[in-house]
Structure formats: structure tokens, C-alpha cells
Structure 1
Amino acid sequence: MSKYLKSPDNMLTSTSLESIAQYYILNDIRSSIDKNIFSEKCFLEDNGEELIQKMLDNSNYKLRMYGSTDELSQNLKIYQNFPNSYRFFKTEFEPSTTTTTLYRSLKNEEYICKSDLFVILQNMALDVFPGTTSVSVRLSILTAVRVEQNKLPHRIEFVKFDQKVFDEIEMEMREARKLCFMSNSELAVLAAQLAAGNFDSMVAKFEKVRMKERWTKKDSDETRKSLKDYYSKMMTSNKDPALALAFFLVKTAAMICLNKIINVKRPEIFLQSSTKKSPMIVRLFEDGDQQFVMESELAIAMKPEKVSEIIVGRGKVGFHDYSTITLDEAIRKGAGRVEFIRYPIKRTKNRAVPIEGPDPEDPDDWFILAVDGFFEYMKSIITGFKIFQKCVDTFAVFELLFNALEKVFKPEVKSPYFLQIETVNYMLTTLQNTFKSVRPTKDVRNAKPDGFTVQHLKNELNHLGLTAFFPEIQDYAEDVYEEIDKTKKERYLRTCDLIDAVENCQLICVLNRIPKLKKFLHNQKGCKRVLGYKCEHCDKEKKASDALEISQQPAEVQKTSDIQNSLKNVKIESSNVSILNQYSQPAISTPKDCEKCSESSKTLEKVKNELKISQDQLKEMEKKVLDKEKELSDSKKEHEKVVESEAKKTEEFSKMKEELSKEKAKNQEKEEENLKASKKIEELQKTILKLTAENEANESTIQKLHDRITYLSTNNQKNHQIDEKTIEESTQTVSVTSKIAPLVIDCLICSSQIKSGQEVIRCPLCKRRFHSNVIFSLFSINFPHFPYFQCAFKWRKDHSQCPACNGDLPGI
């Protein structure tokens, strides 16, 4: 079943891709899309990557901000993946290419959007029925599904997902497949029958399909006549008319099967639900750690008959938005009759994924969060329209424009709210009609292959003329560059990253000059989405939060608390004023002749006049202090619970850390022991090699002496008898000679003596010597005592190691 949730990769058409790209690309640079590359209507086998590459190549470098082909392809795939997307992109006659999402309720039950049921039917039918590689069969199935899907209202609906239902549907499709499937041999027989004018077999198959599905039986003669007429048409336009007639049978079987599944057996699932259904399904939108419910959607679910009263300003040109409420408030209003399902907010790099609104009668009821609308609007006017390059030289003209945006981007609203996509488009159109270009603009230059630096970014800001409009803009370059570098997608920073950096620098300048927009962005939790931006409201909240934590700690830790210091200052001011009031009473008598007292009295009076703090203000300040202290005490209790749980976690973590350190120490000891053992093994190996070499040398010397003695003994026996005295003398002579003679070095390969002046090679490891370049002789093998010897050159051809120690020999 899971394979039917995702549409096949080859379902995307060139027409669909063009429509999706037109909506995704910024309004001001859509004209750079070459429409000619989408002229051929066909299915794309590679998810459109080849066409996307052509689109980028033919854009005159206007689409560089969207990155590589793969990046743009992935973003387009995310952007078009939402329920009823074909209505938003105006692709009613194209196949669905979305991936169906299963949503979970707060009760952990699975739900599915009703329009996505038809996507599953499409994918299942294309997989089960034969001949779907044929465009005619494929389009017939898609048309049958889309006609039924269009019967649903624009309001999004959900039903509980049941795996058994779709298993049953698949079985029904496979039964219908049996009625229309024909093997190659059957097709060959059918072709011969049709060529001979015999349509009996085909008539029987069509009537079986219709009777099986309980359709009204037609007269056999009428069926035969219809098939003959269709076959005659195919004879003139198709190379294989028999195959075309077989495809016609498949299309008929598939359409009958789908109609029965949707309208006959399961209308309660696939057709429009009753407005009085129970329970009522409402989306619980999730954006990071935020959860909220569209207030209008909840109201319509509770009272569907009053939808015209709930939706205000339907069909009017202007600003349309939907407010939200918290989950707790929504549960209270739902009174246990509403089922909330989790619905995540999705975004791409440049746009937010559209969300279908609750109005069933408005085809333009598509929304995004207001904070997403803000970023899309600013990206369009900064990067697309290049408003700060092509218009006036001073920012004062734009202050009125940006201050007027508070009607749409409301700085006083702290909860998330939705903005109609048409509202953002209307604002952009109005801006373009208001501001006309008075000077040519420059494009951001390409980054180098190995990226760009902070200085390059500053140079680019100057090159674009932005330093004249925003003198302070280069001050933000370092912070923006640092954040851009953290979020880069590839090894080096690219041109698309440079365009983002330039855009963020301009956006920071605007925010720092328009406090209302800054407040809006903060309240809608969008500050962190501006790379390199430092929000003063976020800093204040962080300091207040830190101070609150300090105030909840023991008294000795609170000495450095900013909040406590501010409270002390207020109390001190209050006490000082009260003291001044006491000293200013007429009852206090001071000697007239005391100059110091007189001066002090004047000073106190002067200070009193400078403070100008009324008693009512003091009381109000004292009341605020008391309220603040009460809030701190309440927060302190909650904090103590958190501290207690954190202490437990810290203790558990310390135990785990201690165990890990012990285990690490054991492993380190084992590694040291292994290292020592390996060193000893290496030393032993070297000793063994050395002793082996010496032993082999001694054996060679002994064998040589033995051979000489044998040779001499044999010759003496032939000539004459040698007495014992002569042998003793001979032996003594050999012994003396061996002691006096110089050290004899033999070649280990040929066992012959290495004489002075002969070329040798030496093993780098055991230092043994071998003849270097002596001609090999078979005679020396048969007669080893003969003064011919083997050649090391021959040995080196077949071996690379020393015969004594197996060390690597040098090249000869």
C-alpha cells in the first residue's frame, strides 16, 4: 500500500512543470523563463531535471539565486506537494504528482485528506491495469479520477485512514484486470480475427466487462457495430489497430471499475461529506514549537450553516487574513466535539508551501503565514524588483511605504496569523505601479570558483550602489557572511549565496529603520530567519529571562541580577522623595543664621523640583514592583521544580560520564599493553632474522669446507694412500689457514664466494650480500662445488624479498 502514496516519477508533464515554475519564481523575473522549452507536451522521465537545466541556461543569468539544477528541482518538488495542488497551479487536466501524507490526530489516529484518496486511486490503477504505458490508456484513467475529484468542494476535508479499505480496492482492480488482460499470443490471434472481420471474441469480452460490473446489456449487434466503426478509424490512424482495440477494452474496464469503487461501493469516503458529520476534523498547524488553530476553520466546523457570516470580505479586493488561537482555547471552544489533526507548515528556500483555506466557495482561498508573506514580499522588492537600486536616492520616501505595511504586517499581533496569497500579489502589483525605474540597475556579479570573502561581499554592496543608499550597510556584512557560511549547501560559497547575503544586508537596514516592521517580525518569531540580524527585542527578552532565572536562585546568587537592581533603584527613589517631603514640611525649624542648613535646604528643594515625581506615580511604581515580585515568586516555584528535575538529570549524566571515563581508562590501558607487546614482537622478529642469517652463513661455510675435504680425499685415494700423520698435518694446515685467511663472504643465493671487485647488492634489513650480475648456469646446479654460481639477477626477476630475512630488495 505504501508504494501507492507516492506518484510515479514519470507522471510529471512539461505543462505541469511550467506552471509550478511560474508560481515559484519571483514575479519580477518570471519573464526570464523561456516558455518555448515547455512547448512539447509530454511526460518527463527524469522528474523534469533536463527541462529545469534548460530553463536555467536560457534565463540570461536571472535565475542564479535558485542555485543548482538539483536544488531547484528539489524545491519545486516540495513546493507543489500539498492537497489539491492542481487547483492552485491550474493543472486540472494534468496527472497528480504529489506524495500523499498521512496525518495523525492528537489521539494518534491516522487521517488522510479526502482529495488525496484520488491520488492513491490514480497510482493504484496505473500500477494494476495493463497497457498504462500507452498515453491513451493513461489519460483515460487520469481523466476518470480527476472528474470525480473535482466534485469535492474547495474546503479541505479529512477522513480516517483504513488500510483494509485500500486492500479491498486493490483486489477489485485486479479482478477487473483479469477481464481485459491479453497476452501477446492472444493479441496475435485477435489481430487475425479482426483482419478477417470476426469480432465475436471482442464482443464477448466487452459484454463480459459490462455484465460483470452490472451495466445494462446492449444488443450484441450494436456492440459489434460500435467496435467495427472504432476498428475502421484505427485502421487509418494507427499502425496496430488490433492493439488499439485492446487498449480500448482496458480503458473501458478501468473506467467502469473506478466508477463502481467511488460512486457505488464507497460514496461516503470519496464524495462530499455531510456538513453535520461527527466528529468534526480541524487542522492543528505546527510551526517549530508553535501549535495553533485557524479560528475561522474551527467556527465553520462548529456552525457550517453560518459560513457566509464567518468569512468576512469574501470576493473583495484588499487584504484578507485569518487569525489563530492556541490549542487550549480551541479545545475549550470545541467542547469535545472536534478532532484535531497535526498539520505541519512546510517551506522551501524561497517560498512557503500554500495552504488551502476554509472557504468552500472561494477558489482563491489559499494562504500562507503572515511572516512567510513578509519574507516573500521583501525578497520580491529587494532581489526581484531591486527597489533600492532603481528608485530615489533617499530612504525617506520609503518610510511612508513601509509604515503603511502595518495594515498587513500587524506589529501589535503576537499570535501567528494567515495571509491570503492574493493579498501579497496585490501588494506587489501596487508597488510596481507606484514606483517606476529612473535609473538602470546592476546585477550581483558571479562568485569565484573557490567562493567569496567578507571583503568581496563589501565590494559587491559598493558595486551595486547600496552604500550610497544605506551608508551603514557594510557594518552588517561580517555577521551576514558568518551566517551564510554556516548554512551553505556546498563546499564553497556560490553566487546564489552571494545574492542571499546582499539581500539580507538590505533587509537588516530596512528593519533597523522601521521599528513597526521590526516589532512585527519579532512577535511572529521570524527574527532568526534574517541571517546576521540582531533583534533588540529578543535581547531584552533574553536578559529578562536570565534575570528571572537569577532571581529564582538563592539570595547570595542574586546580587548581580539586573531586575533586582532595577527594583532597588525604584525603592531608593521612592524613599528619597519621601525624605524630601519630610524635610520640606513647615514643622521643621532650622536656625536662620545657619548657612550650611540653609544651603542644604535649598539643595533639597532643588532636587525635589528636578525629580517631579508625584505621589500617584510613586504608588503606581510601587504597585508594579509588588506585582513584579509576586510574578517572580510564582515563577520561582516553577523554577524550583525545573531545577530539581535538572539536578536529577545532571546526577544521572555525571554517573554515565564517570562510567564512560572508567571504561575509557581500561581501553587505554589495554591499548598500551598491546602497543608494548607489538614492540616486543617486532624486536623478536628482528633478532630471529639476524640469527637466521648468521646460521645460514655458518651452514654455508661448513658445507663448503666439507665439500673441499671430500674432494681432496677422493683424489688422494686414487693416487696413493695417505697415512694418519699426513691427514693430521693437512687438517692442521687447513685450520691454520682458515684462521689466518681473511673472512670469507658467500652469496646466499648461489652459495659461492663473493670475491673482491665483484658487483654485489646488499639487503637493507639484514645486510646480507649477493652477486649482482653474474650469468646463470645450469651446470652450477648439478655441480654446486664447481666455481660457477647462480645469478641474483635471475632471482630478482621472480622475487622481491631477501631469501634470508624476506626484506624488500633494492632494484637491480
Structure 2
Amino acid sequence: MAQFLKCPHHVFDSNKVYYHVYVYILPELRPFLPVFESIEAKKLVEDDGEEMIQKILDKSNNKLRMYGSAKELAENLKIFRNFSESFRLFQSSTYPFNASSVIYDSLKGNKYLCKPDIYTIIHNIALHTINHEDTVMLHLLLAKVLKSKIGRTDGPVEFVEFDEKMFDEIEKEMREVENKTHEQATAQLEYLEKFVLNKNYAAIISKVRELNPTIWDDGMANAFLEQLQPLSNTEIGKQKEYIFDMLIDSYIMNCIEQIMAKRATLFMSTRKSCPITVRLFEDGEERYVMTEELYHALNRLSTGSVRLETQSDGSVPNAMNFEDVKAEFGNIIQKIEFIRTPILRSKHRAVPIRAHFPGQFVIPAVDHFFEFWRNLILGLKLFQIYQCSDWEKFAPFFHNIENVLYVEKLFRRHLQKEQYFLGSGFCFEIVVSDSLQLYEVSTINEVRNAKKNGFTAQDLKNELKYLGLTVTFPEIQDYAEAVYEGIYKAKKKRYLRTCDLFDAVENCQLICVLNRIPNYQKFLHSQKGCKRVFGYKCEHCEKEKDVQKTPDIQDSMKNPKIESSNESASNQYSQPALSAPKDCDKCSESSKSLEEAENELKMSKDQLKEMQQKITNTEKELSYLKKENEKIVQSEAKKTEELAELKEELNNEKETNQEKEEEILKASKENEELQKTILKLTAENEANERVIQKLLDRITDLSANNRKTSKIDEETIEESTPNASVISKNAPLIIDCLICSSQIKAGQEVIRCPLCKRRFHSNVIFSLFSICAFKWRKDHTQCPACNGDLPGI
């Protein structure tokens, strides 16, 4: 479903890109646009028009540098043109449905679609699901059919509940269109073949127009006829191909219309069955509704004859804060679905909003204010052309602007905090042109390009002087650093470019104007636009902050005893002075002294008031400093705590690492000992295996050759161990050393194990065959056969 909400890229043609750029840029810059035919022929685009925009920028004589790169301008245009019924404002007849549809949320959590956006979804589903050889023709015919029907939604803005299952069903039906229409067109072509052979083209056109009169009007029919007539008798196949295409197009559009007819209530204004909705505009923290739209909804809820009427003349839609709506109408509005509608803006223009009245589009008044001044400063270059240090000469001109913006009217009606709208098509330049003829024109300089590594605050100051703005605004360079800092933070890039320099020059001039005209300050503050001017400090915002910090009661409670004593003293001395007779010298002298005393008391009272005010201001400063100090202390305490936690974590990690190192060392030592034991056991095992093998061999020989031996001497039996080999009855006894496996010869010294009676070489140093035995005796004191203790050598 999500893919059907967004407009496909390929339905956007280069002609519309050019027109959107024309509408988006400042009126004073439009003459610098190149002629469309000199850039490129009309064609569909795939990249939101970025390539086309780059060609426009290349041939605009550097007059559009304030809009940045082609990619940035394409992104801003995509935001600017993307609103419901945009084709009405841009007067698009060929590809009107090139905006994305939006699923809105209500305050109750339900999802809604604006009725005109349903046509856009149908348009997108058809383009995604229906295969057509001639894409351009499909776009044209589809737009023609849908635009002929969208007039049914003319009237107040209406919404319907979003039903995804219903659009899934529409998609499924759309996918069946191709096969169905092919069969119908084939059958109809067989019927029309006789007219082809007779060259009765009028009958063919009549039949096609009968199939779908919406798309085959006089213009389309004549264009098709011009394709058929030049073909000769030998090109009948080509004629049939043209006719078949016409039939296919007719049946496709018929199927789409039938799909829409099954759900007729979606595609027309039906006030009785349509839910009662009101758009709730959200701009940051501000939430408000159009008064006309709210009253229309309330009138639908009303069962009596009393009707709510607005005082708007239609050109300036009134608005009402949502909190005031709830306070005034209470539970009545519970039956209304408030559709959350964000206020959208591109960098240079606000996105138009469909007004309550059909065919009208509006934008917030504050956006009109900024767009007007942008054209005045960067388009007309008012303060560069008319360099005048006497600001009073500009007064009549700016008074006219106040009337245009309804500033005075608003304040007379006590609507300082109410938002309101102005028509998006209002032309400010007409008001400007009538007022500028009174002043002498100066030569102007153009904003220069920024360096490759950006520009600095000092570069901005130099640029303001170079542009001649210090003549009208001697203080303008004082705002350069604050403006530069604000733009740099908002941009969040390493270098500020030429388009950012234009923004900086604009904001510096706007701050100077605001500081000179109090009504502009009030207007901007009431419309919540103060923060949109980089580097600007709003006095009204500062006062509101002070009021929040210091309650009004605090002033009346300061030093009441001193004031009352001063007043009583004043009354005490002033009363006799008023009743004293003029003829008495003493009285006159006392009167003079009393007057002097009274004057002194008044002076002291004024001084006391001044002191009280100073004390109050000091207390405010101290209170503010205390709060700041508390914040700093809390911040430092938090940092100290975090540092302590970090140190503790590091210490824990260090201790853990030490324990791990100790375990590794211990394991390493154990491993070394284990290796030694393994080597020892391996050596012993190898020696034992050799002895066992020799014994087995000799036992085999003994059993084979000496089976008749009957009796053996007790000593012989005693020494007939696994290490001894008996060869024959009368042969001498042969005994091997169990350690070195060499023979113990007669006369060699031996050691006898007291436990198992085995014999081993004793004096191995002089034995040529007993080097291994020497090594054994060096490291061991146990018998290798039974592990019994051996006697010392």
C-alpha cells in the first residue's frame, strides 16, 4: 500500500519542473530564467527534475545562487509542490496527480484520507499495475479521466476513514484489467475491420467515442484521425494496430471508471454520510483551526435553526486557538474528528493549504511576512537601491505594508495571539512598486560568492559594507556575529556557502527593520515567528520570560513599612502648609520650611523608590545567578559522581585483571609441572616397554629350547626374574640391568633391591653400557620395578 501513496518519478515532465521553479523563486528573479525551449524539449523525468534544474541554473546568469545546488532546489521543490490538489494551483492539465497522498491521524487515533487524495491513489495503482506500451499515452488518458471526475469533490474539505483492505481490493481488480481489455478489444476489432477496408474512418471514430466519450473528445479524435488517413491500402495492418491501441485505451479507462463507480461515495462530496472533520493545524507547539471550517462542522451538528457565521470576507481565513475552541464549545466538539495537519515549509516558501472555500489556497500570515521581506531584500534590493539614513522617509511605505498584513486590524480586534492565513497568490510587488518612485536610485552591488572554505563573521561584516547597507543601517554590522552563529548552528556543516551568505544578509537587514518598527515586532511575536529570524532578540519574548520568573505580587510587597511612613510624614507636614494664612510672616517662614521639608521628603521618597527598584533588580539578578549557580553545582556534582563511578569501574577492572593475571601465572606453573611429569612418565613407560619386550622374547626361547629342565636351584629360581634369561640347565645365568637393559656381567658390582630382589648396576661410572643407569640413580632413589627404596651406593 505504501508504494501507492507516493507519486512515481516518471509521471513528472520537464515542462512542469520549469513551471514549478518559476512559481517557487522570487518574482524579481523570474525574468532571469532561460526560455524553456532553449533548455530542453518536453519529456518525462526520473530524478525529480534535478537534471533539468541544473540546466536552468547554468543559464540563469548566476541570479539563482541563493537557492543552492540543483539537488537542494529539487528537494525544496518536492516539498513545496507536494500538497493535496496541487494541480489546481499549478494549473496542470497533463499530469495533475504528481503529489503524494498522506494518511492523517486524528486526535482520537483514527486514520483518514483527504478525498482528493483518493484520486491520486487510484492514479498510482493504475500506473503500477497496468502494463501499457505507450506510457505517455496512458498518463495522459488516465489524468484526463480522473480530472473530469475530481470536480465532484468541490466544496468544503472532506475526509474519509482509511481502509487498507478496500485499496487492496482495488489493486486486485486493476491487475485483472489488462487481460479483460485485451479480449474486449480483439472482439471489437473484428467488428471494425469492415470499416477499415471501406476506409470509413468516421464510423470507426464514432464507435470509439461511443466506448468512452470522456477521453475521445474532438481534439483527441481529430488527432487519431490524422494518424489513420495518410496510410495507404497496403498499410492495413498498421491501421488495425492503431485502432486496436485506441480500443485498448478505451476499455482500460472504462474498467477504471467501473472500479470507481462501485465505490461512488469515495469520489464525490457526500456531506450526510461523510464524517464530521476539522483540520487541526500544528505548527511547533501551536495548534489552531480555521474558524470557517470549525463553524461548518458545528452547523452540521446543530439540529436547530441557529447558524454560526464567520466575519471573514473569504480573503483572510480566520483561525482559532485550539485551547479556546475547547473552552468555548466544551463537549460539543467531542463529536468532531480533529485531523492533525502539520504546517509544512520548504526553505524559501510555505506549502500552500487548501482553504475551506473551494479553489482557494492559503498560507499562514507569518509566512507571507517572510516571503514578502525576502523579495523586498533579495529581490528588489530595496535598501541597496534606496540608501537613505533618514528612516522617516520610509514611513509611508511601511505603513502600507502594515495595512496589507492586517497588523493594525488585528490589534484593534485584540487578536494579538491568534493565528490567521493569507491567500497564497497575493502579490506584494504591486504595493511596493507604487511607493518606491519617491526616492533617488543608487548603484547596487551583487552579493559575492563565498570562498571555498566558507565565510566568517568578519567576511559577513565586510559584505554588508560592500553592499552599501551601512548607509541605511549604521548598526547592521553589530548583528553579523549573532546571525552568523545562528545560521552556522542551523546548517550543521563545516563550511557556510554562498546560499548561506544570502540568508545572512537577509537576516541582518530584517533585524534592523524589526528594531525600527514596533508593530512588526508585535506581529512577528503574535504569529510565533521570532525564532525564525537568526540572531534576533525579541523584546516581547524577553518580557514574557521575566514575567514568568518574577510574579507581579513581588513588586507590591517591597518595603511597605517605608512607604507608609513616608506617606504619613508627607501628610503630616503638608496639611498645615495648605491651611496656613498668607499674612503671617512666621507662618510664611514655617510654610517655606515645610515646603522645603516636603520637597526633601518627596526627593527621599523618589530615592527610596529608586533604591527599592535597584534592590528588586538586584534580587532578580541574585535569584537568576543562584539558579544558574545551582545548575552549575548540580552539573559539577553529577560530573563528580560520574567520574567517581568511572574510577570505581576502572579499579574493579584493574582488580579483575590482576586476579586474571595471577590465575594465568598459577595455571602456567601447573602446566610446567604437568609437562615435567608427563616427560618423566613417558620415559619410564618407554623403559618398561623395552624390558617387557625383552622378557617376552627370552621366555619364548626358554620354553622352546629347555622344556626338559626339571629342577632348578633355589638360587637360580630366586634370580630367575623378568630381567633374567635361562638358556640351559648347565649354562651360566644371564641377568640384565632393569635400568639400562644391558647385561650384568660377572664381576660387576650390583645393587639388590631389598623388596623385589632385583639387581642393578652399582658402579655405573666405569660401565660402558650403563650411562642411562647413572642418570637414573642421579634423579631417583626408588626401584624402577617396585618403587622400593634402593640402598645407597
Same fold (TM over 0.5): yes
Task: Give the CA deviation at 1:485.
Answer: 1.4
Match in the other structure for 2:747: none
Is 2:8 the counterpart of 1:5?
no
Which residue of structure 2 aligns with residue 150 of structure 1?
151
In structure 1, C-alpha distance between the alignment counterparts of 2:477 and 2:276, rounded to whole Å: 54
1:504 corresponds to which residue?
Answer: 507
Aligned-residue offset at 1:612: 11
The AA in structure 2 aligned to 1:401 is F
Residues of 2 paired with 1:571 and 1:26: CA distance? Answer: 64
Equivalent residue number for residue 485 of structure 1: 488
Provide the residue aligned with 1:621 in structure 2.
Answer: none
Give the letter for the 1:326 counterpart. F
**Residue 435 of structure 1: how far off its partner (Å):** 1.3
| Residue equivalent to 2:558 | 568
Counterpart residue number, 1:521: 524
Question: In 2 relative to 1, CA 596–113 (structure 1 residues): closer, same or farther, beyond 3 Å?
Answer: same
Partner SS for 2:321: strand
**Distance in 2, Cα, partners of 1:265 & 1:656:** 67
Q: Equivalent residue for 1:417?
A: 419
Select which of 640, 644, 649 maps to 1:666.
Answer: 649
| Residue 384 (1) aligns with residue 387 (2) | no
The equivalent of 1:465 in structure 2 is 468
Report the equivalent of 1:581: 571
- Matches of 2:661 and 2:590 in 1, distance apart? 94
- The answer (yes or no) to whether the contact 1:34–1:55 under 8 Å persists in 2 is yes
Q: Which amino acid aligns with 1:251?
A: D
Instruction: Measure the CA separation in 2 of the matches of 1:171 and 1:546.
Output: 63
Structure 2 partner of 1:117: 118
Alignment partners' CA distance in 1, 2:645 and 2:51: 57
1:355 aligned residue: 353
CA distance in 1, matches of 2:561, 2:83: 58
- 1:176-187 pair list within 5 angstroms: 176-180=177-181
Match of 2:447 among 444, 449, 473: 444
Deviation at 1:665, TM superposition (A): 3.8
Rate the CA distance shift 1:103–1:19 in 2: closer, same or farther, 3 A: same
**Which stretch shifts more, 428-437 or 328-337?**
328-337
Q: Residue 324 of structure 1: SS of its match in structure 2? A: strand
Q: Please say if 1:329 is aligned against 2:288.
A: no
Distance 2:171 2:463 in 1: 60
Kindly provide the CA deviation profile for residues 16-65 of structure 1, in whole angstroms up to 9, marking residues without a partner as x: 21222121101111111113256622211222111100111111111101
Greater mean deviation of Cα atoms: 562-571 or 125-134: 562-571
SS at match of 1:179: helix
Distance verdict in 2 for CA 1:89–1:588, change over 3 Å: closer
User: Residue in 1 aligned with 2:84?
Assistant: 83
Q: Distance in 1 between matches of 2:539 and 2:379?
A: 28
Judged with a 3 Å threshold, the aligned counterparts in structure 2 of structure 1 residues 231 and 574 are, in CA distance, closer, same or farther, namely same
> Is 1:369–1:417's contact at 8 Å kept on the other side of the alignment?
yes
> How far apart are the structure 2 equivalents of 1:89 and 1:571?
72
Query: Separation in 2 of the partners of 1:594 and 1:672?
Result: 97
Letter of the 2:383 counterpart: F
The range that moved more, 124-133 or 464-473, is 124-133
Report 1:163-178 matches (<5 A). Answer: 163-178=164-179
Q: CA deviation at 1:308?
A: 12
Identity of aligned residues (%): 40
Distance 1:460 1:329, change over 3 A: same
In structure 2, the residue matched to 1:30 is 30
1:764 aligns with: none
**Partners in 1 of 2:123 and 2:133 — Cα distance?**
11
Local SS of the residue matching 2:420: strand
How far did residue 611 of structure 1 move?
Answer: 10
1:282 aligns to what SS in structure 2?
strand
Q: Distance in 2 between matches of 1:512 and 1:174?
A: 63
* Counterpart for residue 92 of structure 1: 93
Q: Which amino acid aligns with 2:596?
A: T
Give the superposition deviation at 1:181: 5.2
Query: Which residue identity lines up with residue 521 of structure 1 in the other structure?
Result: L
Evaluate the alpha carbon distance shift between residue 607 and residue 40 of structure 1 in structure 2; reply closer, same or farther with a 3 A threshold: farther
- Cα deviation code 1:753-778 (max 9, x no counterpart): xxxxxxxxxxxxxxxxxxxxxxxxxx
In the alignment, structure 1 residue 601 sits paired with structure 2 residue 597: no
Secondary structure of the 1:374 match is helix
| Residue 267 (str. 1) matches residue 264 (str. 2) | yes
Partner-residue secondary structure (3-state), 2:101 = coil
Aligned-residue offset at 1:656: 14
Higher gyration radius (CA)? 2
- What is the DSSP-based 3-state SS (H/G/I as helix, E as strand, rest coil) of the residue aligned with 1:447? coil
Partner AA of 2:352 in structure 1: P
Would you say the 8 A contact 1:399–1:514 is kept in 2?
A: no
Which residue number in structure 1 is paired with residue 254 of structure 2? Answer: 256
How far is the alpha carbon of 1:456 from its aligned partner? 0.9
The change in CA–CA distance for 1:181 and 1:680 in structure 2 (over 3 A counts) is farther
Amino acid at match of 1:568: K
**C-alpha contact 1:7 1:123 (8 A) present in aligned 2:** yes
* Distance of aligned partners of 1:531 and 1:230 in 2 relative to their CA distance in 1, 3 Å threshold: closer
What CA distance in whole angstroms lies between the structure 2 residues aligned with 1:445 and 1:215? 62
Gaps of 5+ in 1: 201-209, 217-225, 549-561, 619-642, 686-812
| Counterpart Cα distance in 2 of 1:477 and 1:32 | 30
Structure 1 residues 397-408: aligned runs within 5 Å:
397-407=393-403, 408=405
What is the deviation of 1:230? 10
1:17 paired with 2:14, answer: no
In 2, Cα distance between the equivalents of 1:267 and 1:330?
A: 35
Report SS of the residue matched to 1:255.
helix
State the alpha-carbon separation in 2 of the partners of residues 133 and 611 from structure 1. Answer: 94
Query: Aligned residues, how many?
Result: 599
Counterpart CA distance in 2 for 1:195 and 1:158 is 45
| 1:118–1:149 CA contact under 8 A, matched in 2 | yes
TM-score (norm 1): 0.65
Bigger Cα displacement from structure 2, 10-19 vs 300-309 = 300-309
Q: Calculate the aligned-residue CA RMSD, in Å.
A: 4.6
Unmatched segments (≥5 aa) in structure 2: 198-206, 213-221, 610-626, 669-793
1:563–1:508 Cα change, 3 Å: farther
Query: Which residue number corresponds to residue 340 of structure 1?
Result: 338
- SS of equivalent to 1:91: coil
Structure 2 SS opposite 1:151: helix
Q: What residue identity is the alignment partner of 2:9? A: D
CA–CA distance in 2 between the matches of 1:153 and 1:311?
A: 23
- Report if the CA contact (8 A) 2:387-2:469 is conserved: no
Task: Assess if the C-alpha contact under 8 Å between 1:82 and 1:354 holds in 2.
Answer: yes
Inter-partner Cα distance in structure 2 for 1:679 and 1:199: 101
Q: Name the residue aligned to 2:75.
A: 74
Change (3 A) 1:584 1:324: same
